Structure 1
Amino acid sequence: MSDDGSPLTGKVRQLRLRRQQLRAPHAGSPAEALRNLLAVQSQEFPYARWTLAQRCQPHAAATAADVEQAVADGAILRTHILRPTWHFVHRGDLGWLMGLSADRLHQGNKGMYRQTGLDQEVAARSGNVLARAVEGGAHKTREELAAILGAAGLPNKGLPFIYQLMHAEISRILVSGTPVRSSGGALKQTYALFDERITGSTGGPLTGTDREQALGQLALRYFASRGPATVKDCAAWSGLTMKDVKLGLDVARELSPGTLGSASFDGLEFHLASEEVEGLSGPRHEAALPRVDLIQCYDEYVMGYSQSRHYLGGTAPYLSTDNSPLHVVLVDGRLAGWWRHGFINGVCELDIRMDRPTTPDEQTALDAEVERYGRFLGLPTKRA
Structure 2
Amino acid sequence: MEPEDVVRIRLASQQLRAPAAATADDALKNLLAVQAQEFPYARWSLAQRTADATADDVEQAVADGRILRTHILRPTWHFVHRDDLPWLRALSAPRLHRTNAGTYRRTGIDSETAAKSAAVLAAAVADGAHRTREQLAAEPQRAGFAATGLGLAYLIMHAEISGVLTSGVPVRSAGGALRQTYAAFDERVQGAPPGLTALSKEESLAALAVRYFRSRGPATVKDCADWSGLTMADVRLGLALGLEANPAALETSTIDGLTFYFRAPDSLSLGRRPRIDLVQCYDEYIMGYSVSRHYLGGSAPAYPLDGAPLHMVLLDGRMAGSWRHSFVRNGSAGQRCELDVRLPGMRDGPGDEAMNQALHRSMAQYGDFLGMPASLRSGDRS
Counterpart position of 1:187: 178
**Match runs of 1:208-219 below 5 Å:** 210-219=200-209
Partners of 1:95 and 1:201 within 8 A in 2 = no
Partner in structure 1 of residue 257 of structure 2: 267
**1:262–1:270 Cα contact (<8 Å) kept:** yes
Question: 2:339 — aligned with what?
Answer: 350
Determine the structure 1 residue equivalent to 2:48. 54
Match of 1:307 among 271, 285, 291: 291
- The alpha-carbon distance between structure 1 residues 77 and 316, as it changes in their structure 2 partners (threshold 3 A), is farther
Letter paired with 1:128: A
Post-superposition offset of 1:318: 1.5
Aligned to 1:4: none
Pick which of 303-312 and 285-294 moved more.
Answer: 285-294
Distance 1:155 1:286 in 2: 55
Which secondary structure state, in structure 1, belongs to the residue aligned with residue 223 of structure 2?
Answer: helix
Q: Give yes or no for contact 1:231–1:245 (8 Å, CA) kept in 2.
A: yes
SS in 1 for 2:102: helix
Measure, in 2, the Cα distance between the counterparts of 1:369 and 1:150: 47
Q: Name the residue aligned to 1:131.
A: 122
* Corresponding residue for residue 111 of structure 2: 120
Are 1:319 and 2:304 counterparts? Answer: yes
1:41-190 alignment runs, 5 A limit? 41-57=35-51, 61-190=52-181
Structure 1 equivalent of residue 355 of structure 2: 362
Superimposed CA distance per residue, residues 154-173 of structure 1 (whole angstroms, 9 cap, x where no aligned partner): 12211011100000000000
- Aligned equivalents of 2:27, 2:261: Cα separation in 1: 21
- In structure 2, the CA distance between the partners of 1:309 and 1:339, relative to structure 1 (3 Å rule), is same
- 1:230-251 residue CA offsets vs partner (Å, 9 max, x unmatched): 0000000000000000001001
SS at match of 1:233: helix
Residue number in structure 1 paired with 2:370: 377
Unaligned runs of 5+ in 1: 1-6
* C-alpha contact (below 8 Å) 1:21/1:55 kept by paired residues: yes
* Cα distance between partner residues in 2 of 1:221 and 1:304: 12
Deviation, structure 1 residue 326: 0.5
1:28 is displaced (CA, Å) by: 0.2
Match of 2:29 among 26, 35, 46: 35
Please tell me whether the aligned partners of residues 270 and 316 of structure 2 are also in contact (alpha carbons under 8 angstroms): no
CA contact (8 A) 1:291 1:331 kept: yes
Does the residue aligned with 1:349 lie in a helix, a strand or coil? strand
- Residue 321 (structure 1) shift: 4.4
Which stretch has the larger CA shift, 147-156 or 72-81? 147-156
Distance 1:47 1:117, change over 3 A: same
Paired position in structure 2 for 1:297: 281
Kept in 2, the 8 Å contact 1:105–1:170? The answer is yes
What's the offset of the Cα at 1:266?
Answer: 2.2
SS of aligned partner of 1:374: helix
CA contact (8 A) 1:297 1:316 kept: no
TM-score by length of 1: 0.91
CA shift digits 1:231-277 (9 cap, x unpaired):
0000000000000000010011122221111110122110111x45x
Q: Are the equivalent residues in 2 in contact too, given 1:96–1:201 (CA < 8 A)?
A: no
Which letter does structure 2 place at the counterpart of 1:233? D
Q: 1:306 to 1:185 in 2, by over 3 A?
A: same
Q: How far apart are the structure 2 equivalents of 1:244 and 1:261?
A: 19
Q: Name 1:236's counterpart in structure 2.
A: 226
* Residues 317 and 73 of structure 1: CA distance in aligned 2, closer, same or farther (over 3 Å): farther
Superposed CA RMSD = 2.0
Matched residue type, 2:337 = C
Shift of 1:317: 3.8
Q: Is the 8 A contact 2:30 2:211 kept in 1?
A: yes
Residues 250, 262 of structure 2: 8 Å contact kept: yes
- 1:219-234 equivalent positions in 2, closer than 5 A: 219-234=209-224
- Name whichever of 143-152 and 307-316 sits farther off: 307-316
Q: Tell me if structure 1 keeps the 8 A contact 2:63–2:168.
A: yes
Q: Cα deviation per residue 1:178-206 (whole Å; 9 max; x = unaligned)?
A: 0011111111010000011113699xx98
* SS in structure 1 of the partner of residue 2 of structure 2: helix
User: For the residues of structure 1 that align with 2:193 and 2:148, how far apart are their CA atoms?
Assistant: 31
Structure 2 Cα separation of the partners of residues 79 and 50 of structure 1? 17
Alpha-carbon distance in structure 1 between the residues aligned to 2:309 and 2:88:
28
For the pair 1:287 / 2:271, whether they are aligned, the reply is yes
> Is the Cα–Cα contact under 8 Å of residues 13 and 333 in structure 1 kept in the other structure?
yes
Q: Spell out, residue by residue over 1:4-35, the C-alpha distance to the aligned partner (whole angstroms, 9 max, x if none).
A: xxx92211111000010000111000000000
The CA distance in 1 between the partners of 2:2 and 2:244, in whole Å, is 30
The answer for the alignment partner of 2:248 in structure 1 is: 258
